[in-house]
Structures are given as structure tokens and as C-alpha cells.
Amino acid sequence: MSAGPWRRLSELLHEAGKASDRSSYLKSILSACVELTNSEAASIMEYDPSTQALHFTAAPWFHQETLRTLQVPLEGSAAGWVYQTGQTLRLDDAGTDSRHFQRVDSLTGYQTHSLLAVPLLKAGQPFGVLEVLNKESEAHYTEEDAAIVECLAVVTTLAIRNDLLEQQIRYSENELVEFDRLKNDFVAITSHELRTPLGLIIGHASYLRESLDKNLQDQADAILKNANKLKDILETLANVDNYQSGFSRVRNRQVAIADILEDVATAFRDMADQKGIALSLAINKDQSKNNPAQTTSERDLIVNVDAGKIGIAISNLVKNAIIFTNSGGHVWIEAEPVPGYIQVSVADDGLGIPAKDMPHIFDRFFQAESHLTRRHGGMGLGLSVAKAMVEMHSGKIWAESVAGKGSKFSILLPSASNLTSDTTLIDR
């Protein structure tokens, strides 16, 4: 094969990565077929399982509409023979060969003299046929012509497969969008519809508890305890829904991070004590007093945040740390200044997180444990809520963990000097 065909093939392969329109690209392949084999016309056919026949995917523009709905049978056609055998076929006198499908000529008013057809193969199995017709000067197709068209068949296969893959990707993306919408609707409906009946359960159970004998108060306490667990879940779902729907309002004010952390530590002290876990809090203000570049806000750990939302984020981290730490373990809450930011860390020496799960821990509803082996409860929303709350404040959150040795979650919040707005509406 001379250098010319190789150059043309190289150009087609180069264009394959840029082609955005399958129809136009296939027509450029047909043009190359005609040009490189000195033929009058070329066409591409694909097999349709629903009709058990071949149909024209690409054809000469002047015959495109005529051939669009034509079905080429597998029996009694050259293309059908190539498809069924998976072999290249050359017909030097198509008019006298029974394998030539004469109906194409009668519909188009075109007379086929010679024909060269090669199979389009996917994983070694034919799925279509590439044909060239009527070599100029009534010459016969050669072995070189066959080699050229076989190479172009490979290019054609790549183009069609790429297009199918893109279609599958778009379909999958649309499915994911729809699935995400359904999840969001579920979150919104669940948090809204269950709030009122759950409030009534808690209210009436609290009233009944005061009216019951002491030997029955334990039963009322069990109702209240589990109802409050459901309340916590609903509040988490509501936080997720508000963030996703864009209705979360951030009401910033200057506050010492120590106040937020002390409230969180106090709230979880009993939970930690009941599990026999040592919960400690450290506010590191002094380590950078001699750094003249730091502002007073950084040295005093003052942040301009919505204290309630940051409290929720840190609470979720502390709760997770206690849940996944065994009795006798430790949970540390620390805060320290870094240039322009305040860093809060929640660390533990608990179960840790497997490396394979680390990329997904902030995903909504993600559970490191299988639903069949779960021992620690929860809906897999705590970390995603923490991430949302932090990102509302232009902050960052990340995790480090070693399975079996513990985890450390860190939050980076801009210091008060970096945040000035009093109220921000998060628009998503």
C-alpha cells in the first residue's frame, strides 16, 4: 500500500477523537473509501435484530433518503453473505451474481457492476458491513483495495462504538440525575411528613411519663429515647434538604471557636462516659502569639460563622468518633490558628476507615458497613451534612485514617478577618 492511503487513514483516526457528529464522520469515511479505491459510491450497513436484516447507516447523499427505510435481507444479498460469514467479498460482475441484492439498484436507478464488501467486527463478531461499488474504468477490485477497505472498516467500527459509548454515558448520567432527584424528594417528603406525628408522640409520651407509676416510667423513657433518635434523623434530613434546595441561610456573627467546641463537648460528655471513652478538648491559642503576621482574630480563635451550623458539623464529627471508638478509647477535640484560618480537628483511636472507603465517606447515605453487618446504626448522612455546613462558610473539611488505628477529621474555617458579611443566602 502506498503512502497516500496510510496518510488518509491517519487523518481519519486523528479526526475520530475530535468528531462530535457521528453522521458527518461516517460520511467522511465513505468519502475516503471512494477516494482510496477509485470507486463511484460507498455505504455502511448495520444489523438490526428486531427486523433480522441489515439497514443503511450511511449512504451517498443522493441515495440517503431512498435507502433510509430499506431492509437488506441476510439471504440473497452480498452484504448478508459478508455479515453471516464474517469474510471479505469481491464481486467483479455483480449483475450476474445471485448474492447481489437487485432491489437496491431498482430503487435508486443505479446499476452495480462491481462490489467490494468487508464485515464490521466487534469482539470478533460481525455487526455490520462496509461496501464500495463500481471501481472506475470497469476495473476489478484488488487485494490492495480489500486491505484499504478492511482498514477503513476498523475506523468505522471505532466511530460507531465510540458513539454508542457516548450514548450509554449520557443515558447513565440522566439516570443518575433522576435517581438523585428521587432521593432528594424522599428526603424532603420524609423530613416534612414525619415531623408533626413525631412531635405528637414525644409530647404525649412526655405527658404520660409524668402520670405513670414509677414501674412504668421506664417504658415511657424507652419511647421518648427512640422518638428523640427519630427526631435527630429528621433534623439531619431537613438539613440535607435545605442545603440541596438552596434555602439554607447562613447568619454569620463573630464568635470564639472555643465557645462552640465547649458546647459540643458538654453535649457529648455523657455519651462518651457511658461508653467508657475519654473525651478531651484543647484550645491552642498560645503557640503563635509571637507571630506578628497573625491578627488578633487568629490569635484569639475568633471566627465569623453561623455558630449553629458549625456546631452541627462538629457535633456530627464528635458523634461519629464516639460511635466508632471502643470502650477505653479516646476522642480529642482540638482547635488552633493557622495563617488566615482556624483549624478544628476531631481525632480518635477507634476503628478507623478502610482505604477503599475513604473517597466516599462524605457521600450522602454512604455506609462503610454492609446493611447486613451494620452494628453502629445511622443513615450515612452525618459526614455529608458536616461537609455541607463547612462549605457554606467557604471552609474545607478532610479526613485521615488508618483502619484499626483511628481517624482524624479536620475543618478549616476562615478567621473573622476573612469573613465580613452578616448574612449570606446560599444559592445553589
Of 87-101, 158-172, 243-257, 373-387, the one with minimum mean pLDDT is 373-387
Residues 294 and 234 in one domain: no
Spatial distance between the Cα atoms of 416 and 387, rounded to a whole number of angstroms: 20
> Of the spans 61-65, 172-176, 376-380, which averages the highest pLDDT?
172-176
Kindly report the CATH number assigned to the domain that includes residue 75: 3.30.450.40
Mean pLDDT of 150-173: 85
Report yes or no on 393 lying in a domain.
Answer: yes
Structure confidence at residue 95 (pLDDT): 81
Q: Are residues 68 and 125 in the same domain?
A: yes
Kindly tell me if the per-residue pLDDT of 294 is higher than 60: no
- 415: pLDDT strictly greater than 50: yes
- Proportion of the chain above pLDDT 70, given as a percent: 83
> Measured between alpha carbons, how far is 312 from 322 in angstroms, rounded to an integer?
15
- Domains identified in the chain, total number: 3
> According to the model, what pLDDT value does residue 423 have?
39
Contact by Cβ (8 Å): 237, 191? yes
Q: Would 20 be classed as within a structural domain? A: yes
Helix 22-37, helix 143-193: angle, nearest 10:
170
Give yes or no: residues 162 and 236 share one domain.
Answer: no
- 237 shares its domain with 253: no
Q: Give the Cβ contact number of residue 138 at 10 Å.
A: 10
Regarding whether 254 and 227 lie in a shared domain, the answer is no
Is residue 180 pLDDT above 70, yes or no?
Answer: yes
Question: Does residue 239 sit within a domain?
Answer: yes
241 and 254 in one domain? no
For residue 85, is it within any domain? yes
For the entire predicted model, the pTM comes to: 0.52
**Confidence at 116, pLDDT banded by 50, 70, 90:** very high
- Residue ending a domain, choose from 230, 245, 260: 245
The owner of cell 473525651 is 279
Please indicate, yes or no, if residue 179 is contained in any of the structural domains: no
Range of the domain at 154: 3-169
Q: Which of 205, 230, 245 is the last residue of a domain?
A: 245
Do 247 and 235 touch, CB atoms closer than 8 A?
no
Residue 90's SS3 state is: strand
The reply to whether 180 falls in a domain is: no
Domain membership of residue 176 (yes or no) is no
Beta bridge pairs of residue 408: 347, 400
> Within this chain, do residues 298 and 381 fall inside the same structural domain, yes or no?
yes
- Per-residue pLDDT of 305-322, as tens digits, reads 989 889 989 999 999 999
Q: Are residues 24 and 143 in the same domain?
A: yes
Q: How far apart are CA 273 and CA 336, in angstroms?
A: 26
Among 204, 222, 245, the domain-final residue is: 245
In three-state secondary structure terms, 17 is coil
100: pLDDT strictly greater than 80: yes
| The pLDDT value given to residue 144 | 92
pLDDT confidence of residue 167: 80
Q: Which helix (H) or strand (E) holds 245?
A: helix 214-245
Residue 328 has pLDDT above 90, yes or no: yes
Q: Which of 21-25, 110-114, 350-354, 377-381 has the lowest mean pLDDT?
A: 377-381
Same-domain status, 23 and 145: yes
pLDDT value at residue 396: 95
Residues 160, 203 within the same domain: no
Query: Which pLDDT belongs to residue 326?
Result: 94
pLDDT by residue (tens digit) across 11-20? 776 675 555 6
Would the pLDDT of 428 be above 50?
no
Q: Assess contact for 339 and 298: CB atoms under 8 A.
A: yes
Do 236 and 253 belong together in one domain?
no
Is the same domain home to 202 and 281? no
Give the contacts of 377 (CB within 8 A, at least 6 positions apart).
323
Task: Tell whether the model's pLDDT for residue 225 goes beyond 60.
Answer: yes
| Mean pLDDT over each residue of the chain, to the nearest integer | 83
Q: Does residue 110 belong to any structural domain of this protein?
A: yes
